[in-house]
Amino acid sequence: MEKSFAVGYRLTSYRLTSPLTHDLVNKLAVIVGHCDLLAEHLKAGSPSAKRVDSIQEIARGMAKELNEYQCQLAECARSAEMKKRGVHRLDELSSAS
């Protein structure tokens, strides 16, 4: 029962978190894009340009981390689904359906 609960929890966690991380990554991409547009109007090396660069760097880093986290969650969900179905290899997953 505990093992079944853990598998279900991982799948539910992935299903809830995946859309959220996807939306956050999309919003961070908008921030990066706006920083690109803003940087075109700033003098290179100015304090404002440095701030915009910092914002852009942070947004890119956060997007990368979120993508990595989403991949980890997807792998956990796949693994949990395989355990739930008693599948040992990924190519067996479709035939176990």
Sequence ranges of the domains in the chain: 2-96
pLDDT cut 70: percent of the chain above it: 68
Q: What is this structure's pTM?
A: 0.63
Neighbours of 14 (CB within 10 A): 20
Is 90 exceeded by the pLDDT of residue 5? no
Confidence of residue 7 (pLDDT cuts 50, 70, 90): very low
Taking CA atoms, 91 is separated from 12, 13, 78, 96, in Å, by: 23, 24, 12, 9
- For residue 95, the one-letter residue type is S
Question: Apex CA 34: angle with CA 52 and CA 22, to 5°?
Answer: 110
Does the pLDDT of residue 12 top 80, yes or no?
A: no
Mean pLDDT, to the nearest integer, of 59-68? 93
How much is the average pLDDT of 52-56?
97
